[in-house]
Structure 1
């Protein structure tokens, strides 16, 4: 049965194209839209209560991310992604996270370090309570502080394109028994390197953290 989309609420129409893109990509990542399923521009627009233009633009972005493809005489269909695709995304994420932490080490300020320490504690506490969704939200804030501290707009944008992938992968990784304790230690290693303005140390700690997160995700997902 085809997935039915709910209309976009008025207060979410600030950037309609990005909203539609996020809705469609999440539906693919959550497998609500399965490989081989057609995306009919007119139907999606009617369900979301918007014009066809932002749907067309969102589908084009999905093509660039290789999540959908255009097949002659059939139209646009979902391609989804394979384990190899996921591994590629994880490798790219690891490199970008390590780089941005390295840059942030020379620019981070005491108040940002204090905020990271508080978030690391909150992440651990929420994980311990079994609140994985809340823990993941706080984890996003933790990394967002580092991203912004680096003051590298293009690198920030690159990481943002992976945001929804990272969020979903992290949710799965956090479900691995014992991962909470590992994350607590890894976050504190990153904070210590940043506080010492140790670019190489921050790069190494971030790389270790993301590699362990990737490993946990793959173990739980496959």
Structure 2
């Protein structure tokens, strides 16, 4: 299950919601910094600036839902939504009170499918999220192609179970590159949703090593992931030509 992101201007007022979500076994990130990064990226972006859009997309791709705090104004929401709804996440607006009919129509026009009230009970929150996130989970289709080692019996189920969330995200990023080299920095940004640091870059390299080891363990060719020294990583051409589909 992918984490939920709360974008806010005040971390303290989100503590109760964050605790409720964690009680329901959701992984949660509550962030002021990410909100500021997105707003800054929007200000610097031209309509044709594909690099900025890719930055925003990679920043948010690992979240299944984004909750927009009541601390964010309606005008800011109108500016934010087109730039954060690049990966078809569920968008939820946190509100102080039930919205009017006109406000509901405006939310729908913005692409926000529902709202959360501050005084929601945990039971109400559980059922609401279960309903809304089920739509996302049914539509989500992450397909990874892995080249099967000749002469070996591969165990797809065991491989899937052995992969961590970060390892799955790593494979997903490499697959989406469609045979092109992905730099270690871009891969790091995709997997960790933050600006690369030396520590994160090192951890990203370790993820590659762990994935290759698991692939070999369960009967897949470790060389399906290739290291291009000085440039980054890529999935070999054989992956898409002779690959085995694995829904992660």
The TM-score bracket by the shorter chain reads 0.3 to 0.5
TM-score (norm 2): 0.32
Q: More strand per residue: 1 or 2? A: 2
Q: Please report the TM-score for the alignment, with normalisation by the length of structure 1.
A: 0.35
Report which of the two has the higher share of helix. Answer: 1
* Structure with more contact order per residue of length (Cα contacts < 8 Å, sep ≥ 6): 1
